[in-house]
Amino acid sequence: MKIRALFFVLLLACMYPCLAQGTFENCCLKLSPGIKKNIKKRIAHYRIQETDGGCNVRAIVFITMFKREICGDPSQPWVQELMKKVDIRRAKV
């Protein structure tokens, strides 16, 4: 009887991380003050992170060709300019 109870507790303990894994969002927690010119050329696309849901920082998340993410403040001029450049570059393709 004790072995069954121990087995059941261990089974539940192993299942808990698997179930909780999908509850976390990929959020930016820190905003970059700027990025280098050579990295700007490698931006493939961006996504907008809103404060609704699990993320508490509004940000623009730039994704490079190598899947690196850089977070920027949407009110900053460099972020708005880079968004326009990425949109133009993607429209040409």
Question: Is 19 within the bounds of a domain?
Answer: no
Whether 32 shows a pLDDT value over 90: the answer reads yes
> Chain centroid to CA 17: how far?
21
Q: Report if pTM > 0.75.
A: no
Range of 85's domain? Answer: 25-92
pLDDT in tens, 33-76: 999 999 999 999 999 999 887 788 999 999 999 999 999 999 99
Whether 19 shows a pLDDT value over 80: the answer reads no
Domain with 61 in it: what CATH number?
A: 2.40.50.40
Provide the number of structural domains found in the chain. Answer: 1
Mean pLDDT score across all residues of the chain? 84
State the amino acid at position 14 in one-letter form.
C
Dihedral sign of CA atoms 62, 71, 33, 52 in order: positive
Question: Is 64 within the bounds of a domain?
Answer: yes
Question: Is 35 within the bounds of a domain?
Answer: yes
Question: Is 78 within the bounds of a domain?
Answer: yes
Whether 23 shows a pLDDT value over 60: the answer reads no
